[in-house]
Amino acid sequence: MGNLDFSRAQYVERQKVNKKLLSISAIIGIIIILLAILWLKMPQTFAIQSGSSQIVIDAESGRILSSYNKDMRLEMASTTKIATTIVAIENAPLDKSVEITDEMEGIEGSSIYLRKGEIWKLEDLLYGLMLQSGNDAATAVAIATAGSVDAFVDMMNALAKRLSLKNTLFDNPHGLHSDRHYTSAYDLALITAYALKNPTFARIVSSKSHDVEGNDTLSARTFYNKNKLLSSFEGANGVKTGYTTDSGRCFVGAAKRGGMQLVSVVINCPDMWERTKYLLSDAFEKYDYVKIGDSSKNLDEFMLKGENIALRLDTDIYYPIKDGEREDFRYVFEPLESYPDSLNAGDTVGTLNVFDGNRLIFTRKVITINEIKHKGALLSLMNLVGDWQINSIDGEIEQIFGVVRSGFPQRRG
């Protein structure tokens, strides 16, 4: 009987211990759930390693929305092919026939396996270049466009100079290692923003696949895009991956929401997909795309030489602005080189250059909405300049002040 009482006491004590353990487990479980909820609500951050860089810009204005080491010179691997593609598009017909030669075959690294004697359309090679990152395709495109790789590289560097890129030098069309081949996140974003304005480039980099028709020298095939962002991020529409052991993982991303086209760049970034999604999501969340220039309203209206002149932009101007942010812009009217004796309503009278500080962010045509009969009135526009002050509240423009400052006519040398 004593043993039975002892066993029963052990059982009761064990039950008490079990209840305590269950209570502790439940408390721990609740704490874990609460911590998980708090973590999800916290802004995501990523460790940025030494020798890496990143940036997000608005493609239309070039405004920098976020950045880290944006001007650091780094190798960019196959993201080089963004420049290769836009240079080819601008300098050679897409339907050009390209016969594959010895020097286009067997290029180191990623390949679309070109073979001597095959005849390709240049456009198909561009798809092979951008979707499957063929280094042989890059070489073929370069030679077909410029006659030689060296001549094509000169064209790439001419583009960099034209875009006023300060930290970019090209030494090849594919991105394989070279000490004389580098860019910065900012420069690469500017190249991409420029390229995306070309409809052919935009079509190629937003394609998830491309079918190549066969011919007597070439078997039909399909290229599939390596850009995972196109299938995993709302609004994604480009552009290019890259990797070498020297550059690390690189990715130029692009996405468009609510009319705002963003470009992101990460260089030497092991978690390039998640980092890119975070950077783009953060920019879309923080910035509103607001209209700062309305083509349906008069840019200005004034009397010159006895004539009433009303000017409007030919298209709207949008700009990314944070809630509560104030932006100050300067605009300068550039007249035409010469004018006819009179202008009709709707005719172009010049262009409006809009500056953020000293940086040109927009150029738009300016039209007259009324007839201008006297040439002297047009000449008086030569020194028209002004200032805009813009406040954004909950995504709406609160104030726009257009302060015109003009002089009578003093020709700028």
| Dihedral class, residue 147 (left if φ above 0, else alpha if ψ from -120 to 50, else beta) | left
Question: Of 52, 133, 264, 392, which one is the catalytic site residue?
Answer: 133
Whether 296 is catalytic is no
What stretches of 132-207 show up as alpha helix (H) in DSSP?
135-146, 149-162, 185-196, 199-205
**Rounded to the nearest 5°, which phi and psi values hold at 91?**
-125, 5
Question: Of 81, 121, 256, 277, which one is the catalytic site residue?
Answer: 81
Question: Of 52, 61, 78, 380, which one is the catalytic site residue?
Answer: 78
Give me 64's structure tokens: 């920098």
**Rounded to the nearest 5°, which phi and psi values hold at 410?**
-115, 115
**CB distance 225 to 131 below 8 Å:** yes
**CB distance 84 to 205 below 8 Å:** no
Q: Of 313, 72, 320, whose CA–CA distance to 193 is shortest?
A: 320
**CB distance 234 to 19 below 8 Å:** no
**CB distance 361 to 61 below 8 Å:** yes
Q: Length of the chain in residues, anyone?
A: 413
Q: Give me the residue label for tokens 């993982």.
A: 249
**Rounded to the nearest 5°, which phi and psi values hold at 145?**
-85, -45
**CB distance 200 to 124 below 8 Å:** no
Strand boundaries in 61-156, DSSP class E: 64-68, 97-99, 119-121
Residue 196 and residue 160: Cα distance in Å, rounded? 15
Whether 166 is catalytic is no
Please report how the helices 81-91 and 149-162 are oriented relative to each other, as an axis angle in degrees rounded to 10: 100
Residue 314 and residue 312: Cα distance in Å, rounded? 6
Residue 240 and residue 262: Cα distance in Å, rounded? 14
Residue 113 and residue 133: Cα distance in Å, rounded? 11
Residue 322 and residue 306: Cα distance in Å, rounded? 42
Whether 81 is catalytic is yes
Question: Which residues on neighbouring strands pair with residue 212, listed in sequence order?
Answer: 221
Kindly list the catalytic residues: 78, 81, 133
